[in-house]
Amino acid sequence: MNIGEKIKHLRVKNGLTQQELANRCELSKGFISQVERDLTSPSIATLVDILECLGTNLKDFFSDNTEEKIVFQKDDVFLQENQELGHYIRWIVPNSQKNRMEPILIQIKPGGSSEPDTPHDGEEFGYVIGGSVFLHLGNQKFKVRKGESFYYKPSLVHYLSNESRYPATVLWVSSPPSF
């Protein structure tokens, strides 16, 4: 097993520079560089620290059985209802918060809305499966009907509302995860 190459792969996958990883681990950038090029080997304690900063552990790092779930079924879906705001959220990919994007199905009752979200990095996409919604971006308001989509960078407070007499269903994807 090429430990350095695997550490580099995890670092890049997590969107970290060598300097950022070094800072998180309280190591030098040069040491991280040498580890990634297999010029030096970290102690077990240091390797544990590096792996923890990369979101994994020794067991998973050295395991060759990293089967990633590809297909998700109805039983995998997590459902949350917000009666106050009048919506249901279905997380259609469980544990997607650890991924780079997070898809949900949101059903908004007539007069309901999604939770207002503050500005953040990333991008958001939505496709209206049924009904219609208003997309609120700061002071702007856009009507999105069945069969239409929206796409924006969430640099303003944003949310969806349903001002019709019928429920609306939207496939909504946030990158990075924010729901």
Which domains can be identified in the chain, with CATH numbers? 3-62 (1.10.260.40), 74-175 (2.60.120.10)
Kindly report, residue by residue over 93-108, the tens digit of the pLDDT: 876 656 788 899 999 9
| Omega before 119 within 30 of 0, i.e. cis | no
Neighbouring residues of 140: CB distance < 8 A, sequence distance ≥ 6: none
Can you point out the beta strands (E) in the chain?
Answer: 78-82, 87-91, 102-108, 123-130, 132-137, 140-145, 149-152, 158-161, 168-175
Distance CA 16, CA 112 (A): 39
Least trusted range by pLDDT, from 44-53, 74-83, 116-125, 152-161: 74-83
Find out whether 168 and 132 touch, Cβ atoms under 8 Å. yes
Distance CA 156, CA 154 (A): 6
Looking at the chain, the whole-number percentage of residues with pLDDT higher than 70 is 94
> Is 92 in a helix, a strand, or coil?
coil
Residue 98 confidence (pLDDT)? 67
Task: Give the mean pLDDT of the chain.
Answer: 91
Residue 21 confidence (pLDDT)? 93
Residue 139 predicted with pLDDT over 70? yes
Find out whether 131 and 167 touch, Cβ atoms under 8 Å. yes
- Cα 172 to the center of its chain, rounded Å: 12
Find out whether 54 and 10 touch, Cβ atoms under 8 Å. yes
Distance CA 160, CA 21 (A): 37
Distance CA 25, CA 6 (A): 17
Kindly report, residue by residue over 33-89, the tens digit of the pLDDT: 999 999 999 999 999 999 999 989 998 888 866 566 788 888 888 888 999 999 999
Residue 1 predicted with pLDDT over 70? no
3-state DSSP: the chain helix, strand, coil percent, rounded to 5?
25, 30, 40
Burial of 26 (0-12, 13-18, 19+ CB in 10 A): exposed
Considering the entire predicted model, what is its pTM? 0.63
Residue 91 confidence (pLDDT)? 87
